[in-house]
């Protein structure tokens, strides 16, 4: 889930006058925290380079108006997830942290008609929004939502014979448990499949050796662990708040 930094580009548009596109774009620009990119480049990426459907745009706009809207990924990250799903030929995928469903919408749209995305979340309130948009997009039959702690859901999948039966995993939930999620997903993902982890730059905090809190330390340690992990090929991208890609060997 994205971190928040105020953006100057759209802040002068009164809410009553804002178009759907402006509201959605404001959401993207507020969500992103690209410490290495000028804000003009952020705006270009948000408005010009990401392809999305009308349903995705409406979901992004609605979420941007919510109190916790800063947790939504940007359209560029959604496009990246869909591209990765297609690149690995994903039929079965896992998402840890669903929120209002934008990332799930992106991944499910890239699955074949008989594909399945297992979504792990604990909030019925947020995922009720997700269900509406999944239904509207005609993708609800590809998505299975499990409302329970993700560690329990992942353990159940492994117990039910799910080891190495998934093609793609997206991790975007509580940061202190990222390592546990990563380890479980490594067991569930087939060789050649991919694990995608969001917020791995954490607004740049991971690069500041003076910053120590539970989330920052957990992410910093996991970045180093994945870098040295012989079980995967990995790359940390400066997309959004930092996206780690790991391909299981």
Domain presence at residue 3: no
Contact 39, 7 (CB under 8 A): yes
Residue 98 lies inside a defined structural domain of this protein: yes
Question: What's the pLDDT score for residue 118?
Answer: 98
Residue identified by tokens 């889930």 is 1
231 occurs within a structural domain: yes
Out of 109-113, 192-196, 202-206, 218-222, least confident range: 202-206
Task: Flag whether 10 is in a domain.
Answer: no
Asked, for residue 199, whether it belongs to a domain, the answer is: yes
Number of domains in the chain: 1
Identify each DSSP E strand in the chain by its residue range: 92-96, 116-121, 143-147, 166-171, 189-197, 232-237, 243-248
pLDDT per residue as tens digits for the range 82-92 = 999 999 999 99
pLDDT tens per residue across span 105-121: 999 999 999 999 999 99
Query: How far apart, in Å, are the Cα atoms of 194 and each of 32, 44, 110, 111?
Result: 23, 28, 14, 14
pLDDT at position 67: 86
Domain hosting 112: range is 20-248
- Of 32-41, 138-147, 176-185, 195-204, give the lowest mean pLDDT range: 32-41
Query: Contact at 8 Å (CB) between 71 and 127?
Result: no
Check pLDDT > 50 for residue 34.
Answer: no
Residue 157 is assigned to a structural domain of this protein: yes
Indicate whether 43 belongs to any domain. yes
Q: What is the pTM of this model?
A: 0.87
* Mean pLDDT computed over 127-150: 98
Residue of 76, 139, 136 lying closest to 108 (CA atoms):
139
Sign of the four-CA dihedral 45, 50, 54, 59: negative
Question: What is the CATH number for 146?
Answer: 3.40.50.150
Is the CB of residue 75 less than 8 Å from the CB of residue 28?
yes
Task: Say yes or no to pLDDT of 236 above 60.
Answer: yes
Q: Is residue 113 part of a domain?
A: yes
């Amino acid at each position: 889930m994205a971190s928040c930094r105020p953006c100057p580009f759209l802040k002068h548009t009164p809410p009553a006058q804002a178009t759907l596109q402006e509201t959605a774009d404001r959401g993207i620009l507020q969500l992103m925290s690209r410490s290495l990119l000028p804000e003009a480049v952020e705006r270009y990426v948000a408005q010009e380079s990401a392809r999305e459907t009308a349903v995705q745009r409406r979901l992004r706009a609605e979420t941007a108006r919510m109190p916790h809207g800063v947790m939504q990924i940007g359209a560029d990250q959604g496009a990246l997830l869909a591209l990765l799903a297609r690149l690995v030929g994903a039929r079965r995928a896992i998402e840890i942290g669903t929120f209002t469903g934008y990332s799930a919408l992106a991944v499910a749209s890239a699955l074949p008609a008989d594909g399945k995305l297992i979504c792990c979340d604990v909030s019925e309130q947020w995922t009720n929004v997700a269900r509406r948009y999944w239904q509207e997009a005609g993708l609800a039959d590809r998505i299975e939502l499990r409302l329970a702690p993700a560690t329990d859901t992942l353990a159940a999948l492994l117990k039910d014979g799910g080891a190495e039966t998934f093609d793609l995993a997206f991790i975007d939930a509580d940061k202190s448990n990222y390592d546990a999620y990563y380890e479980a997903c490594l067991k569930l993902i087939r060789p050649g499949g991919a694990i995608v982890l969001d917020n791995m730059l954490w607004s740049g905090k991971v690069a500041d050796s003076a910053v120590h809190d539970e989330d920052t330390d957990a992410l910093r340690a996991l970045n180093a662990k994945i870098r040295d992990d012989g079980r995967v090929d990995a790359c940390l991208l400066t997309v959004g708040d930092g996206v780690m890609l790991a391909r299981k060997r």
